[in-house]
Structure 1
Amino acid sequence: MNSLLKEIRHTPLLWLLAFVPVLFVAQKLKPEAHTLLFVLSILAIVPLAALLSHATESVAARTGDSVGGLLNATLGNLTELVIALTALRAGQYTLVKASIAGVIVANALFMLGASFLLGGLKHHVQEFNRANARLQAGLLFLATIAILIPSAIAQADSLADSAFIGMLSVGLSVLLIAAYGLGMLFSLGTHRELFAGAEHAEAGEAPWPITLALATLAGVTVLVALVSEIFVESVQEAAVAFAMTPAFVGFVVVALVGGAAEMASAFSAARKNRLDLSVGIALGSATQIALFVAPVLVLLSYVIGPTPMDLQFWPGAVVMMLIAALTASLMTSGGRSAWFLGVLVLLVYLVFAMTLFLLPPRTQGDGAGSRKHAALGAFHLSQRGSPDAVPERSACCASFS
């Protein structure tokens, strides 16, 4: 505990932790002040992300970068899982799919590219274990193919009804979960020696005791999940005040803020020349969302959802996820990086973000209705034949508008 208090005293950024209780108090006293809650939630997430970063590095110092990256990705994805489960119970399946696609693209492009850039600005050339990167990129590509198939068949074949898409989604979900488990067995078990991190990290401060680091990881993850829920509730109204399109909010803002803790860990590790940890967090998180979280949500929808959810995504999201997987695979194939490589990856993400920010909503219906259909037009949703297509679209659009 003394190590934690010392870290807070000597790190000005962690002084922002005072905004965490302020946010909870403000949420109780003024739940309608969405713009205020939006700003406070961001101020609260930033120091929590920094604290999670230090705890992750302490764990990775004792377990290795592969296990440390996996642990950070798993705990970081709990935030997205909590948000997705909440939307799943409400039947807002399009919102669930938007968050899944947004997180995959943000982790595979923004987090990876920013890690390459920040690490490259301090170190001329950095090296990382390309075997681990290639495995994660390969698994991510497999997931995008599995997501592409239901969407492509639903668009191309008029005989592909909702029952067929539902059964196919369940079968694909089981296959993806099995692939994720086998990938973990391969990288952490039978061929663990192939995925050892490169020994080129900078010497730094002594890591925290493992018990303190694990306790901090667990506690901060819970706080990040609670803060993220307030953020998601407030961002819907704050987006209007800041003139952000519904598509940009759902696919970019929510994904980036939800992954702030993981990003802080990845960026800090890259600056300390621990690029194995950065790549493991970025691609490991994207892979875990695609191969484990998304399929689990499909299966859970049969238990806690009003209707079953499928893996049929809208075409724009599928294209972005496929491009993100291919870009990550291409940029990590050499096992070396420099700052300009990070710029290239970030530019791909910025192309997507700019498109979603400028994309006008579909102008259909009257004035009140057109705003409700903004997210529908922005995302180019095409859920024909999907059991969740009609009843939850208005709920999702209302969430984004």
Structure 2
Amino acid sequence: MRPLLKTIRSTPLLWLLVFVPILFLTEHLRAASGTLLFVLSVLAIIPLAGLLSTATESVAERTGDTIGGLLNATLGNLTELVIAFAALSAGEYMLVKASIAGAIVTNILFMLGASFLLGGLKHHTQNFNAASARLQAGLLFLATTALLVPTAVAHGVAADAPVLQDLSLALALLMIAIYALGLYFSLVTHREFFGSATHEEEAQAEAHEQWSLPLALGTLAGVTVLVALVSEIFVASVQEAALSFGMNSAFVGFVVVALVGAAAEMASAFSGARKNRLDLSVGIALGSATQIALFVAPVLVIVSHFVGPAPMSLVLWPGAVLMILFATLTAALISNSGRSAWFIGVLTLGVYFTFAVALYLLPPR
């Protein structure tokens, strides 16, 4: 526990952890508006994300950046699952679908672009494993295709047609199976192709007081539970806050929910980039996007048959599919060389903000 307390005392960002009990107390007393709870939940998630980042880095130092990135993406996506389950049970399908599409695009463009920018401002050029990035881009292209098919079919049939639900369920099972095979390929049969490109001496130069593995894993578990609890309050307050700020539900799901839900992963990705561990950043960003597209979204489709007023399909509005497609193509282009610089991050962020502005000003019907 001593390294944990020392980290909290020496990191001003983690002092914001005081907002976690304040949020729970305010929500318990039910004396605050939804807008205030929304602000408090965001302030509570930020330091939890930083703590999760530190714990993940400690685990990654022992398991390698590939497994460390996968672990961070998996734990970070629990937030998206909690948010989506809450919205699913309330029948807010537009919010669920927008959050899925937004999480994919945000992880690919915003998280990856900001990692390239922050890392590039400190290091002239950075290297990462291009083979791993290309694999993730290929899986994302498969997910985009699976989302495109039901969206295209939906234009010729009724929105609640049974064929769309059957098609979505079949594609969901297929996507989960391929995601599992992709993990087996990269972690078992061909793991030698997906090692870190970071030089050992660079990693040693960033050495710091290490946490023990039990402390790191225990912190990961505890912080993940707190993030899930805070996320429930966030979901309950986000609609009222959106009305107060004049935002439509698609923008809330695509941008606001996606950014808050990915806060924990972003903290780890940005920290890794600044420490010249770009493989960790790329693994978190693209790995999280792939996991959402090929695992989280299909799981939500399956669960919707048991939770919510009606089964949910994989049909998105056409603009969302196009944004996911262009984000995937952007990831494939920028990851082909295995090198990055700060301006690559600027270009990637430019694509993201183009989508965000368009969705704010031109919400889907």
Query: TM-score scaled by structure 1?
Result: 0.87
Unaligned residue ranges in structure 1 (runs of 5+) = 360-377, 381-401
Deviations 1:266-322 (CA, angstroms, capped at 9, x unpaired): 000000000000000000000000001111111122223332211111111111111
- Say if 1:158 and 1:189 are closer, same or farther in 2 by CA, change over 3 A: same
* Matched AA of 1:59: V
8 A contact 1:57–1:207 mirrored in 2: no
Q: Are 1:379 and 2:357 an aligned pair?
A: no
2:197 aligns to what?
A: 198
8 A contact 2:68–2:280 mirrored in 1: yes
Q: Distance in 1 between matches of 2:283 and 2:195?
A: 11
8 A contact 2:82–2:231 mirrored in 1: no
Q: In the alignment, which of 248, 252, 255 is matched to residue 252 of structure 1?
A: 255
2:178 aligns to what?
A: 179
Identity of aligned residues (%): 70
Stretch deviating more after TM superposition (8-17 or 87-96): 87-96
Q: Distance in 2 between matches of 1:36 and 1:161?
A: 37
CA-CA distance at 1:99 after TM superposition: 1.1
Q: What is the number of residues matched between the two proteins?
A: 361
- Say if 1:164 and 1:189 are closer, same or farther in 2 by CA, change over 3 A: same
CA-CA distance at 1:181 after TM superposition: 0.5
1:72 aligns to what?
A: 72
8 A contact 1:113–1:344 mirrored in 2: yes
CA-CA distance at 1:93 after TM superposition: 2.2
Stretch deviating more after TM superposition (283-292 or 157-166): 157-166
Q: Are 1:243 and 2:246 an aligned pair?
A: yes
Q: Are 1:284 and 2:287 an aligned pair?
A: yes
Deviations 1:188-210 (CA, angstroms, capped at 9, x unpaired): 00000100112333422032111
Stretch deviating more after TM superposition (24-33 or 69-78): 24-33
1:106 aligns to what?
A: 106
8 A contact 1:153–1:160 mirrored in 2: no
RMSD: 1.5
Deviations 1:136-168 (CA, angstroms, capped at 9, x unpaired): 11101100110000111221x348971211111
2:25 aligns to what?
A: 25
- Say if 1:146 and 1:17 are closer, same or farther in 2 by CA, change over 3 A: same
Larger RCO (CA within 8 A; separation ≥ 6): 2
CA-CA distance at 1:71 after TM superposition: 0.3
1:272 aligns to what?
A: 275
Unaligned residue ranges in structure 2 (runs of 5+) = none
* Matched AA of 1:238: A
* Matched AA of 1:213: A
* Matched AA of 1:24: F
CA-CA distance at 1:246 after TM superposition: 3.4
- Say if 1:138 and 1:31 are closer, same or farther in 2 by CA, change over 3 A: farther
1:365 aligns to what?
A: none
Alignment of 1:2-401 (within 5 A): 2-30=2-30, 32-155=32-155, 157-158=156-157, 162-200=161-199, 201=203, 202-359=205-362, 378-380=363-365
Query: TM-score scaled by structure 2?
Result: 0.95
Post-superposition, which runs of at least 4 consecutive aligned residues in structure 1 deviate over 4 A? 158-161
8 A contact 2:86–2:232 mirrored in 1: no
* Matched AA of 2:26: A
